[in-house]
Structure 1
Amino acid sequence: MRQALSGLLLTCSTLAAADIQTREIPYTAEDGTTMVGYHAYDDTIQGPRPGIIVVHEFWGLNDHARERAREMAKLGYSTLAIDMYGEGKVAEHPQDAKAFMQAALQNAETTRSRFMAGMELLQRQPQTDPRRIGAAGYCFGGRVVLEMARQGVPLAGVVSFHGALVTRNPATPGAVKARVLVEHGAADSMVTADDVAAISAEMVKAGVDYQLVSHPGAKHAFTNPAADENSKKGLDVAYNKRADERSWADMTLFFKRTFDD
């Protein structure tokens, strides 16, 4: 009995000692741009585990994206918050953020090459199972992960949080390899009802394993606690604790089911 109790205490102590390791990793995109990735993982987990790419909001690779990467690492994933703008650029003003975003989206090949550079970096990490990769994107990043799914990038699943849903290249039957989850704010003035209807029709027509969750009263950027402060910059955004927590729970279950199948 004493030995069993001792073993239990040791196990509890080990669990309590779980620690999330983080580090910045420089890498280079195909176009020669220097990028900065933020890798997070639980070092008490032995061996490779599924990887999740985190794609930032239109502000750039800021604290929100890094915090989400750490939280996903706590779920048992090897996570990499990637840099879509280059050199870790982060905007403070909406005009700068919009300019960064438009430059990253202007050329579809640039967008894809920067995403793939981050994906390949994550796959090379010893903590990552390179055959099991998912992606989660916020705002601008939500659009990016949806576009990568549409293009047939070999991802197990993608989750878009308050992302733009419009596209110039709709998914075609058989092209999408990933499961798709869209977490949408019902009060998001940046996404129209027509946009929501269009992506749903697109995904159904393309035969995608797809789900859209609409959160009542949630505005754009509902997962970011800094959204309330950012609203003072002329943006129709707001943090919504309930939508944030519920969408996180949806994502947690989504990736668990995706990687367990």
Structure 2
Amino acid sequence: MDILTSYNLIIEASAIIILSFIFSELARKTNVPSVLMLIALGILLKFGLDALGIGSIDFFPILEVLGIVGLIMIVLEAALELELKPAKIIPIAKAMAIALIGLLASTWVAAQVLHAFVPGMNMQAAWLYATPLSILSSAIIIPSVSGLSNVKKEFHIYESTFSDILGIMLFYFLAGQWEATEQSNGVVGFFGNLGLTLAISVVGSYLILLIFQNIRSQVKLFLLIAVLLLLYALGKKMHLSSLIIILSFGLVIANMQLFFRGRLGRWL
């Protein structure tokens, strides 16, 4: 039974999107995060494929692409939640500090546990594996705080957003150090790439917005997504922190009145 034919892939992709929408609606009514429903669905599908004798199919190439696209969407959605206003500087700073301290502390604890109880695991690998376990994912937090007051809800949104972004950056930093060659500059090279990425991100975000505002086509949203995917992939090829590009673009879109002032404001 070949489940990777073109029509089967279309059916499977469509079914996943429909189920994701249904899970999102259920999450609003039950306060059960939709991501947990999707995880449960994946586990059930795994058992089903094994029962049908087709569990040995290598889904990794497909899942890797879907994971990259999902990662970009998560960071972009998180960035769009951040409003940079003077009145919110202190709440944002507090949320970012708590997210960073909580991420590093929980990662350290998880790394110590993994290093102590997993045979043959060194501390570098333990930190790498502990990082995803320590992220307070906005995909779980945001649907779960709908019943709180606006102030508490906003704080949790900021905290989970920063935890997402900082956690992903920490994971890729550790992964880069893990895969580093002898020619790598280590931490210095990382921060050099980070600075270059920030410069490219700011310039690229301005250019994308200025160009896309003059496009009147109804399909420019798909073109925009394609451009972001292209920038992310090119950034990874150049060993840059590609997530910063997505983050910067989301921040510029969410705060256009802040970034487009004076003469720049006339171009919008």
Q: TM-score, normalised by structure 1?
A: 0.30
Task: Specify which structure has the bigger relative contact order, considering alpha-carbon pairs within 8 angstroms and separated by 6 or more residues.
Answer: 2
Q: Identify the structure with the greater strand proportion.
A: 1
Q: Between Structure 1 and Structure 2, whose CA radius of gyration is higher?
A: 2
Identify the structure with the greater helix proportion: 2
